[in-house]
Amino acid sequence: MDRKADLPPPAASNHLIRSRGIDSNLTSSSSSSSSSSSLPPPDFLHQAIAAYKRHRPFGGMHGNIKRATRVLVPQTDLQKGINSSSSVTYNEPGKAFPLTRAVLESRKFVSETNDHAENRATVVAELQEDASITPPSVGGTLTAIGDNKESNFELQKVNIDLLADQKKSSIAVSSYQVPSLVALREDEIKKENSTSQSTLMTTDSKMENISSYLHSLALTEPEGYLGTQLEIKDPKLQGHGNIEAFGTSMKYGGTILSENRKEPNHDQCYRESVTRYSVVGSSSATALSVNTGPTIQSTHAHPTAQMSFTTQVSSLAREMPSGSKVLVSSGEQVAVRNDPDWQIDNRHNVHLAEKVNKELHDDANCPPQPPLPNNLSSGIEASHPQPSKVEKSRQKKKYDPNVFFKVNGKLYQKLGKIGSGGSSEVHKVISSDCTIYALKKIKLKGRDYPTACGFCQEIEYLKKLKGKSNIIQLIDYEVTDKILFQAVANDLGNIKDKRIKDDEFIYMVLEYGEIDLAHMLSQKWKEIGTPGWRIDENWLRFYWQQMLEAVNTIHEERIVHSDLKPANFLLVRGSLKLIDFGIAKAIMCDTTNIQRDAQVGTLNYMSPEAFRCNESDANGNTFKCGRPSDIWSLGCILYQMVYGSTPFAQYKTFWAKFKVVTDKCHQIGYEPVSNPWLIDLMQRCLAWDRNERWRIPQLLQHPFLVPRVPKELVLFADQHPSKLIVERISTYWNDPDVSRLCSQLHEVIEKLEKEHKDPTNVPVDSNVS
């Protein structure tokens, strides 16, 4: 059924149109009607709250208040609008663009300014909707319209009203925003001019975080209305990845404006949240404004999600620092809390908005409503079944755990799962100050206390390594199981044999790494086989040195990592940092080795002694793991960086690996490489006998990293370097052909050197070309 057909004709509000900066004569063709602003405020408030709770436009409850037309178009109609011949033809007659609803409307809106009479009614309807139901707290004026290149989003500029007192230079970022924009402080936003309609500009890298946040909201909160009216002025940002993030949020109906935006995917349905969010920044503090009011009811909106989103924002508002301004606006009026300095124009509206705020907060304690079937989502009263357990816990938590993590009272919005290890999940998150972190969540349920204590050990190591630039930094952590928390600090005592029964977790907020070495390597190895490919020695040196330094840092702190592998080196702002101290062990003061309770590590990188840790050899000597075990792992990583696979990769099963790695007589194969020092370096790390392995300070001085040509010449005064190299190579290959070739090479090098010293001494019949 076409719901649009059921709707009363749209009405316009001059008031709103003014606030949006649209010439009021554009509305002349529309029927006039009442607006919310014409209702006595308490009625408005009650209706707003009641409708909000019902998740449907309260216009519907009031005969003469018109519903928004755009949001009541069912998906099928939307699809029709997009896919069928009814696509909007724009500017260039005859050229049809398949557009999503959001784009269609934006263009209609634009078309109004272009005097496209046919679209005028729709624009009016949109304006009326805002006017009669929820006047926006911030008005915008579309001032520039781009061309209509296919698949681009044309609107290029939106002027945004200043919401707050000019003297205080507070800036309203947009009418529909997200909480994390609180970090968009005034010093990161320049006003283009000082009139009440100023164009926001931001060129700061915060944009990346914000866009990424929006992106995440688009992903995690499909019902959220993510339109953010920001003009992106910085050419660097145009076409940058973060624009894509905006593009994604636009899919959900936002009017985020930037040049050359890609057309949203038609498969994405158009959704809007009942609740709108707005953020105000001031010179002295940041503020969060929550614009309530059932503005739009999408046929696809998910009431539970809307509720939870509201709850999250309320919760975020509570999380904000005490100096922050929490604004709640109902309609275009804004109330300011916690800040006596804030200029308030209209006391009544402050009162009104505060009431709305209170209701909003009360709402967070109301049971969320179950989702309505799509076809019933507007106009039908939902029944209120008892809240489920999950819902109850959500109410208790006052934030949606599907969207946020709470660590030590701070909320972190999930941006997506990065990876999961043997015992944990790692998520990309964003904090309220728009910083991206990695959040490691270790599930404790079902684990015994000694194991859980082992997990906490990682926190101890990271605390010990705080401030070390080549170790991932622990920002915050929480152990939700209080018994465990105390046991770690004191003693396991009588809980040794007990298990954790409840849903308890360890949360660790960590510095975020962009990519790990494993992924970098797999990218690098795609180049293999391309014509002219050869090992990039400088690339190798650059990262090898950083790896050595990172491991040296922990060795100096008497910590053995025990699980060194490419995935545990993360690139953070261009530098490699070490992560995952899950199985690291501290070296006792009176020894250089560690005792292991169980076999640990990742097979391909495990040293012979790690395979046989704590066992005894034929002579009764115990295999112990210590720093050399980490050196072996580094050797395996270097081998992988040089050849593309670890030295024992061809042995697939555990036992095959065990056998070959623990076999003292097994010879690791080294294919020739352009720089023989590289082979020497690998051999220094992969010596079977752990006592023969070089230590990190030596490795940092190895000729591969520190070419010492003059020093070498002095050191081997009686030996020509080429001879030395040739000798070493022939030793390794022990092959007459290799020896012969090496001798020839040596002769050639000597000849060349003679020529270099005395250019007149060039043999006439030189076979050196």
Ligand X SMILES: Nc1ncnc2c1ncn2[C@@H]1O[C@H](COP(=O)(O)OP(=O)(O)OP(=O)(O)O)[C@@H](O)[C@H]1O
Annotated binding site: 440
- Measure the N-to-C terminal CA separation of the chain; round to a whole number of Å: 85
The string over 5-28, giving b where at least 16 C-beta atoms fall within 10 Å of a residue's C-beta and e elsewhere, is eebeebbbbbbbbebbbbeeebbe
Binding mask 582-611 for ligand X (x = CB under 6 A): x-----------------------------
CB of 411 to ligand X, least distance (A): 19
Q: Does 40 bind ligand X (CB under 6 A)?
A: no
Q: CB 206 → ligand X: shortest distance, Å?
A: 20
**Cβ(755)–Cβ(747) under 8 Å?**
no
Q: Which of 391, 504, 511, 630 binds ligand X (CB under 6 A)?
A: 511
Q: Report the residue from 47, 170, 311, 424 that binds ligand X according to the rule CB under 6 A.
A: 424
- Taking the mean position of all CA atoms in its chain, how far away is CA 241? 12
Among 559, 579, 594, 726, which residue sits at the site for ligand X (rule: CB under 6 A)?
A: 579
- If one asks whether residue 580 binds ligand X (CB under 6 A), the answer comes out as yes
Q: What are phi and psi of 327, to 5 degrees?
A: -105, 140
Shortest Cβ 510–ligand X spacing (Å): 4
Using CB atoms within 10 Å of the CB of residue 519, give its burial: 0 to 12 exposed, 13 to 18 middle, 19+ buried.
Answer: middle
Number of residues that bind ligand X (CB under 6 A): 22
Q: Is 259 in the site for ligand X (CB under 6 A)?
A: no
**Closest to ligand X by CB, 65 or 509:** 509
Please state the three-class secondary structure of 161-207 as a single string. ECCCCCCCCCEECCCCCCHHHHHCCHHHCEECCCCCEECEECCCCHH
Would you call 689 helix, strand, or coil by DSSP? coil
503: closest CA among 445, 442, 576?
445
Q: How far is the CB of 623 from ligand X (least distance, A)?
A: 22
Element (H, E) at 486: helix 482-489
Q: Which residues line the annotated binding site for ATP?
A: 440
Kindly state whether residue 51 participates in binding ligand X, applying the rule CB under 6 A.
no
Active-site residue, from 130, 363, 516, 563:
563
| Comparison of 246 and 605: residue with beta carbon closer to ligand X | 605
Binding mask 400-419 for ligand X (x = CB under 6 A): ------------------xx
As a 3-state breakdown, the chain gives helix, strand, coil percent values, each rounded to 5, of: 40, 15, 45
Comparison of 186 and 511: residue with beta carbon closer to ligand X:
511
What gap in Å lies between CA 479 and CA 459, rounded to an integer?
A: 10
| Nearer to ligand X among residue 224 and residue 582 (C-beta) | 582
Rounded CA-CA distance 204/652 in Å is 50
Residue 457 or 683 with smaller CB distance to ligand X:
457
Task: Please tell me whether residue 563 binds ligand X under the rule CB under 6 A.
Answer: yes
Please report whether residue 574 would count as binding ligand X according to CB under 6 A.
no
User: Judged by CB, which is closer to ligand X: 584, or 686?
Assistant: 584
Q: Pinpoint the alpha helices (H) of 38-173.
A: 41-54, 75-83, 101-113, 117-132
Q: Using CB under 6 A, which of 512, 543, 611, 658 touches ligand X?
A: 512
Judged by CB under 6 A, the stretch of 39-47, 119-127, 463-471, 508-516 that binds ligand X is 508-516
Q: Report the C-alpha gap between 688 and 667 in whole angstroms.
A: 9
Task: Tell me if 438 contacts ligand X by CB under 6 A.
Answer: yes
570 binds ligand X, rule: CB under 6 A: yes
Dihedral sign of CA atoms 37, 43, 46, 50 in order: negative
Count of alpha carbons within 13 angstroms of residue 673, beta-carbon side:
20
368 binds ligand X (CB under 6 A): no
- Residue 698: other Cβ atoms inside 10 A: 11
Give dist(CA 372, CA 364) in Å, integer.
Answer: 19
Q: Which residue's CB is nearer to ligand X, number 241 or number 323?
A: 241
Smaller CB separation from ligand X, 346 or 523: 523
In angstroms, give the least distance from the CB of 509 to ligand X: 9
Which amino acid type is present at position 387?
P
Q: Examine residue 626 and tell whether it contacts ligand X (CB under 6 A).
A: no
Choice from 87, 338, 423, 722 touching ligand X (CB under 6 A): 423
If binding is defined by CB under 6 A, does position 721 make contact with ligand X? Answer: no
In this structure, the number of other CB atoms found within 10 A of the CB of residue 406 comes to: 17
- Among the residue ranges 114-122, 237-245, 507-515, 617-625, the one whose residues contact ligand X (CB under 6 A): 507-515
Q: Is 680 a catalytic residue?
A: no
477 Cβ neighbours under 8 A, 6+ residues apart = 407, 408, 459, 506, 507, 508, 509
Give contact residues for ligand X (rule: CB under 6 A): 418-419, 421-424, 426, 438, 440, 472, 510-513, 516, 563, 567-568, 570, 579-580, 582
| Active site (catalytic) residues | 563
